[in-house]
Amino acid sequence: MRLLLIIFLLISGLSLMNIGHAQNETINSRQLLTKTNQTNNVVYTNYYSENVISRNYIQLIDSIANTAGTSGHFSRVYSQTTRNIASQAEGMENDQKLFIKRFEATFADYFLKACFAYKNGDLSETSEWKCFYSSPDARPWQIVLLGVNAHINIDFWQALTDNFSEKEIRQNKKQLLACRTSVAKVYSQLYNTMTGESRYLNFINGFTKGFARELGEKIMFKWRRRAINLAILFYHDPGKFKKRWTIIKEKKDKNDMLILRKKNSIRSM
């Protein structure tokens, strides 16, 4: 998930690097985790529960990708990303491959639970996916960006700490970051689609001589690396974790506003 958000930040003259400062309040790490995972306590349909147990997350995402609406837009991009990563993992050593597969299944579970909670009318008001599902009139590219913002900046580190120790995360950090290759392939396709549909984005692409594409990919890589480091901090330095986590949540919310602010500024052909 690597993203066009940077293009829109360039257009508006804003920068992700200058967003927000940490609040001074003291927050218990486990309370944060529990609050963020409120949607996980919802009872879902039998269809959903049975498939989560068997971890057929790729098939579930594929199924949602064939539907219309908000979840469908995001799932079409997410589906290809998960398939790329699964394919890349096959070339890793067995223990590394198992780590990636286990992580990806849990990671996808966060989106799937939010998706079914929304469908059942049970999505929590505090869910990281609330903005994603509260913007039905957003354009497809905005929906994808909102989904990526929520999934990487909020769900990623939690999917790691749900399953793995600090030692396991450190041992497999290199393999997680190596998945950048799989993500970049999807980002490239999405970028091409966007520049083909928008005269303005096409101009920005030409004006920056392709630098916007490269910078967008780097931003997404930065988000993933930051999430991995946050998961390590969760175990290694709880005090620093609480401060960093507060900052990232604030950035996620401001990213949402930046994405939606561009609704009327992009002229499609």
When pLDDT is cut at 50, 70 and 90, the band that residue 45 belongs to is: very low
Q: Is residue 223 part of a domain?
A: yes
Residue with tokens 């594409």: 213
Give the number of domains in the chain: 1
Average pLDDT (7-23) is 36
Average pLDDT (43-52) is 38
- Helices marked H in 208-237 — which ranges? 211-236
CA 178, CA 47: separation in Å to the nearest integer? Answer: 33
Residue with tokens 């399953």: 163
- The pLDDT of residue 264 is above 50: no
- The pLDDT of residue 54 is above 60: no
- The pLDDT of residue 131 is above 90: yes
When pLDDT is cut at 50, 70 and 90, the band that residue 140 belongs to is: confident
| Percent of the chain predicted with pLDDT > 90 | 55
* pLDDT tens-place string over residues 178-228: 999 898 888 766 666 666 656 666 776 677 766 666 777 888 899 999 999
In the chain, the amino acid numbered 213 is R
* pLDDT tens-place string over residues 227-261: 999 999 999 999 999 999 999 999 999 999 988 88
Q: Is residue 17 part of a domain?
A: no
* pLDDT tens-place string over residues 85-130: 999 999 999 999 999 999 999 999 999 999 999 999 999 999 999 9
Q: Is residue 20 part of a domain?
A: no
Q: Is residue 127 part of a domain?
A: yes
Q: Is residue 18 part of a domain?
A: no
For helices 211-236 and 199-207, give the axis angle rounded to 10 degrees.
90
Domain of 90, in residue numbers: 5-12+26-261
Is pLDDT larger for residue 233 or for residue 53? 233
Is pLDDT larger for residue 6 or for residue 76? 76
* pLDDT tens-place string over residues 148-171: 999 999 999 999 999 999 999 999
Residue with tokens 């579930």: 60
pLDDT, mean over the chain: 78
**Which phi and psi (to 5°) does residue 198 adopt?**
-125, 120
DSSP H or E run through 244: helix 238-261
Task: Give the tokens for residue 207.
Answer: 């004006």
Give 63: exposed, middle or buried? Use CB within 10 Å, 0-12, 13-18, 19+: middle
- The pLDDT of residue 36 is above 90: no
Q: Is residue 19 part of a domain?
A: no
Task: Give the tokens for residue 113.
Answer: 């639970």
Q: Is residue 266 part of a domain?
A: no
Give 14: exposed, middle or buried? Use CB within 10 Å, 0-12, 13-18, 19+: middle
In the chain, the amino acid numbered 86 is A
How far is CA 207 from each of CA 7, 11, 13, 72, 259, rounded to the nearest angstrom? 12, 12, 15, 32, 21
User: Model-level pTM?
Assistant: 0.76
Q: Is residue 161 part of a domain?
A: yes
